[in-house]
Chains A and B, each alone.
Chain A
């Protein structure tokens, strides 16, 4: 039993007079950051993938701006390697909110020749950066709001809340702007942009606690379901058209859920019976493997793989 479990087991609290929970604090900070983007940037966009972190971002944006419309469109960089449930959820959510959704596809970058792959089924996680930068330039976005968290990976731990990107969309980890108090500096020259991370200070546990407290809807594959998988290298790989079993591999049907929903070719589910946020919280609090470690085949390649991708403009 870990200390984190005790925190997870506590029922969600409503802010009483004079008492603010850690979720209240995180929420207030994120709303402040979203409003700073709206106040300081000319033409921002919010990256919405249909994943849980960006679903949380949308709820925070509602809290920051409703009853008015969002001061930015939603932008999805579509790898083409999607779980259909996630795309359905993405479209439904944008429709319910009545907000504009822009979709730009890695497929189109491949057609243009700006993305080249070694083989057609290669993971498109890295290629997304190219399509994202093309979209930033097409719409002249000066800020891209994302749901990245500092606890996800070591290289993210030093990311600023307002994180500067040069004309090539590059992040220079050795030369970041100092970020003091809550006074953010989003100033850029033409062609540059900032990435803004309102939930920088949230952990995976915070995200699930907030999803539970706010009853935030998610794509169904975040919850336990039966799925055809193969066991490979200690992970369960989903069997889909894009990810067929290899010769000699036995397909089995297992009760699983996804902890992240990235590129289908490199996102693996975990065995689980958790069918709702409360059950996931109990599992998360007692998890023995980190979110990315458990589910992202591409992060396993090297201890420093995320940092390299980020320098190249990856989210």
Chain B
């Protein structure tokens, strides 16, 4: 083992002793041409997630295609159809772990149905790694990636300027691309954007620093990903607890669910929606016993000080900054279906654990996915279109503005006839 590797190992150990940082979910956005698959392959390979038989399979496939080197991008091309076409057609999930934390990558494709797939991957992501090609800089598709990341409220964005080996690792190229991205990100109001020059092909600044980018003093891509704090925002938000199930037990009724945001302890006063009743929490339970406190992300059972009428689909919320109880509201819709959106037609709307009938009662402006600028809506709303709408629901819903609370302001629309998920929605 080299001296550098030893230092790295010791550093990893030291951090592991401090406590593990849980799970980070991130998306990778970019096209095949940006070297996205190679970058993911590089992350997996250099964090030693790739086992001998997997590497051997990739190496056989590389030879079959006439590559001299092992083509790391082949590690992540999942389905037969994709391998034939050499493109990624659907969101694929990859996993790797370091001593610091576990990572879940949503690998979103770059070509057809791009918006649909990136929105899907972005919806669960804490961070986005957006690839730029050092030879090409800020492209229309880069703008699209930043816009979708902004629209879906991803808190941490990392722009990885790839293929630095093709531009002789020139600092000026990196700086100029950074300036372009930065200007655009500012227009979108994106904060927390970090930049890192990399060569996925050669491995520089992805996991190992390499020696070609010595002028860059910042952290490697992996170090950035290891240092992002994912859940903080959710825990500091007010309590949102959609009731999944009601259970009758020896100690009365228990309400089962997972905290979308906030915290809850026994003794807290909460408010139940849609009834609006205030009630005291008498206990926070898990299988092993009682908890002092549950926080965003925990699956628990709550018992309440008095029996109130509360069922699946209802919401238990903090008294402060309670959600709005509404039947008509404005939202941004991302249309995900090949069938066009029909104004006035009935859809099922699911938000949290609540499903109600709803219709899109008015079309507002359409959003340009490359600028986030609004323009008049097209006559026909088709796959991948993003649109401001007014939604009218048959029953009241307790909702948050998506910008303030992601989980409390997210919903999907389901076509009742085909049962397809036709739209993702974000409450304005």
Closest to A176 in B: B90
Q: Distance (Å) between the CB of A264 and the closest chain B CB?
A: 22
Chain A 255-308 residues near chain B, CB threshold 8 A:
287-290, 293-294, 303-304, 307-308
Q: Could you tell me if B51 and A4 are in contact, using CB atoms closer than 8 angstroms?
A: no
Beta-carbon contact of B297 and A28 below 8 Å: yes
Taking a contact as CB atoms under 8 Å apart, the answer to whether B419 and A179 are in contact is no
When the two chains form their complex, are residues B78 and A157 in contact, meaning their CB atoms are under 8 A apart? Answer: yes
Contact (Cβ within 8 A) B47 A3: yes
Q: Is A68 an interface residue (CB 8 A)?
A: yes
Q: Are B245 and A180 in contact (CB under 8 A)?
A: no
Q: Is B80 among interface residues, defined by CB-CB distance under 8 A?
A: yes
B119 at the binding interface (Cβ < 8 Å): yes
Contact of A43 with B by CB under 8 A: no
Check B99–A158 contact: CB distance below 8 A: no
Report whether B92 and A157 are in contact in the complex, using a CB–CB cutoff of 8 Å: yes
Interface pair B120/A6, CB less than 8 Å apart:
no
B8 to chain A, nearest CB (A): 9
A151–B90 alpha-carbon span in the complex (Å):
16
- Contact indicator B97/A178 (Cβ below 8 Å): no
Are A178 and B424 in contact (CB-based, < 8 A)? yes
- Cβ of A154 within 8 Å of any chain B Cβ, yes or no, is yes
> Given that A20-B22, A39-B244, A187-B414 are known contacts, is A206 also in contact with B120, CB under 8 Å in the complex?
no
User: Which chain A residues border B286 with CB–CB below 8 Å?
Assistant: 63
Interface residues in chain B, defined as those with a beta carbon under 8 Å from any beta carbon in chain A: 1, 9, 12-13, 16, 19-20, 22-23, 47-49, 51-54, 57, 61, 76-81, 83, 89-95, 97-99, 101-102, 104, 116-117, 119-120, 123-124, 231, 235, 244-245, 247-250, 256-258, 286-287, 292-293, 295, 297-299, 312, 336, 348, 350-353, 406-407, 410-412, 414, 419-421, 424
Cα A216 to Cα B92 with chains together (Å):
30
Contact among A7, A67, A187 for B249, CB-based, below 8 A = A67
A82 interface residue (CB < 8 Å to B): no
Which residues 53-87 in A have Cβ within 8 Å of B in the complex?
Answer: 62-68
B93 lies within 8 A of A201 (CB)? yes
Q: How far is the CA of A1 from the CA of B419 in the complex (A)?
A: 49
Number of interface residues of A (CB under 8 A): 68
- Decide: A180 near B424, CB < 8 A? Known: A22-B23, A303-B61: yes
**Which residues from 76 to 125 on chain A have a C-beta closer than 8 Å to any C-beta of chain B?**
none
A6 touches which of B12, B299, B412 (Cβ 8 Å): B12
Which residues of chain B are within 8 angstroms of A6 by Cβ–Cβ distance? 9, 12-13, 16, 98-99
Report the bound CA distance from A165 to B262 in whole Å: 36
Q: A4 to B89, Cβ gap below 8 A?
A: no
Q: Which of A11-19, A44-52, A224-232 is found at the contact surface with chain B? A: A11-19
Question: B78 near A158 (CB under 8 angstroms)?
Answer: yes
Sorted nearest first, the 6 A-B pairs with minimum C-beta distance are: A293-B53, A2-B48, A6-B99, A31-B299, A22-B102, A63-B287
Could you say which of B9, B20, B117, B412 contacts A185, with CB atoms under 8 Å apart?
Answer: B412
| Contact present for A187 and B419 (CB under 8 Å) | yes
User: What per-residue 1/0 map shows which CB atoms of A137-161 lie under 8 Å from chain B?
Assistant: 0000000000000110011011000
Hey, which chain A residues are within 8 Å of B419, CB to CB?
185, 187-189
Determine whether the beta carbon of B421 is less than 8 Å from that of A21. no
How far in angstroms is the closest Cβ of chain A from B78? 4
B247 contacts which of A68, A179, A303 (Cβ < 8 Å)? A68
Contact partner, A200, options B16, B93, B295, B336, Cβ 8 Å: B93
A64 & B99 in contact (Cβ 8 Å cutoff):
no
A156 closest partner in B (C-beta): B78
CB nearest to A38 among chain B residues? B245
Are the CB atoms of A178 and B287 closer together than 8 Å?
A: no
Cβ contact within 8 Å between B53 and A289: yes
How far, in Å, is A29 (CB) from chain B's closest CB? Answer: 8
A24-B22, A174-B81 are known contacts. Are A290 and B424 too (CB-CB below 8 A)?
A: no
Please indicate which of the listed interface residues B101, B244, B424 has the most CB atoms of chain A within 10 Å of its own CB. B244
CB–CB A4/B95 < 8 A: no
> Given the complex of chains A and B, what is the CA–CA distance between A244 and B22 in angstroms?
47
Contacts of A189 in B (CB 8 A): 419
Chain A residues within 8 Å of B48, by CB: 2-4
**Taking CB as reference atom, which chain A residue is nearest B79?**
A173
Which one, A64, A68, A181, A307, contacts B299 given CB within 8 A? Answer: A64
CB of A294, distance to nearest CB on chain B (Å): 7
Residues of chain B within 8 A of A28, CB atoms compared: 258, 297-299
Query: Is the CB–CB distance between B421 and A158 below 8 Å?
Result: no
Chain A 199-239: CB-based contact to B (< 8 A → 1; otherwise 0) = 01101011000000000000000000000000000000000
Do A1 and B353 touch across chains, with their CB atoms under 8 A apart? no
Report A70 CB to chain B, min CB distance, Å.
12
Nearest B residue to A68 via CB reads B247
Contact of A293 among B51, B117, B247, B293 (CB under 8 A): B51
B80–A307 contact, CB under 8 A? yes
Tell me the minimal C-beta distance from A18 to chain B in angstroms: 7
Chain B proximity of A60: nearest CB distance (Å): 10
Inter-subunit contact A289/B421 (CB<8 Å) = no
Report if A303-B57 is in contact (Cβ < 8 Å); known contacts: A187-B414, A290-B51: yes
B424 with A203: CB separation less than 8 A: no
- Give complex CA distance A152, B250 in Å: 41
Distance A185 CA – B353 CA, assembled complex (angstroms): 11
Given A188-B419, A201-B104, A293-B54; 16 other pairs, CB 8 A cutoff: A4-B48, A10-B16, A18-B235, A19-B19, A20-B297, A22-B22, A28-B298, A31-B258, A63-B286, A151-B95, A174-B90, A183-B412, A187-B414, A205-B97, A290-B53, A294-B53
Question: Using Cβ atoms and an 8 Å threshold, which residues of chain A touch B19?
Answer: 13, 19
Which partner residue on chain A sits nearest B53 by CB separation?
A293
- What are 15 A-B contacts defined by CB distance under 8 Å? A4-B49, A6-B9, A6-B13, A20-B231, A22-B102, A28-B299, A31-B258, A64-B299, A154-B79, A179-B421, A181-B124, A183-B352, A188-B419, A203-B95, A290-B53
